Amino acid sequence: MSDLAAEYSICPSKKEGGILGWVKVGQMVPEFEEAAFGAEPNHVVKCKTQFGWHLLQVLSEREPVKDIQVEELHSKMQDPVFMEEAQLIDVREPDEIAKASLPGFQVFPLRQFGTWAPDITTKLNPEKDVFVLCKVGGRSLQVANWLQSQGFKSVYNVAGGILAYSRKVDPSIPTY
């Protein structure tokens, strides 16, 4: 497919051998999405859009980031092996961390993304489980999705964040 795209395509993706990367619903024109999301992996399908004819091949499908409930995370954190093996990251800002935090979490503030993101694979192992925490789960989901897009194999978003952890697991953790 890449050779055909490089030779015949008029799409901007031509220079990458026609590879579009990960796409999600709402990103492409409806006819293209229907063909792409209806295609079996590794089968070539064709579709016509307002831009012309397209040949496409879905190479793989990405699973959505998994949520982990705070009760389950707490249970896992009681195991010393888990605490040694898991990669726990908190994406809240330093002033938030000063108000409330959980043991074992490395701090990667989302506002400082540009400073830690370029070499994230030297700081975290893409082959190991990663658990991402924020205040209520929104920022951590953004980072979890980004980590997955960078090739991290097993990424979990802490559902409800530290606020849920305080309310459901450990009320001694301050809320803010």
Catalytic (active-site) positions: 134
Written as one string, the DSSP assignment of 32-61 is HHHHHHHSPTT-EEEEEETTEEEEEE----
State which H helix or E strand residue 164 sits in: helix 161-168
Could you give the C-alpha distances from 132 to 46, 138, 140, in angstroms and in order?
39, 10, 5
> Whole-angstrom Cα distance, residue 164 to residue 136?
7
Could you give the maximum distance between any two Cα atoms of the chain, in Å? 63
Identity of residue 97: I
Secondary structure in 3-state letters for 105-128: CEECCHHHHHHHHHHHHHHCCCCC
The one-letter code for the residue type at 151 is G
Residue at 92: amino acid letter: R
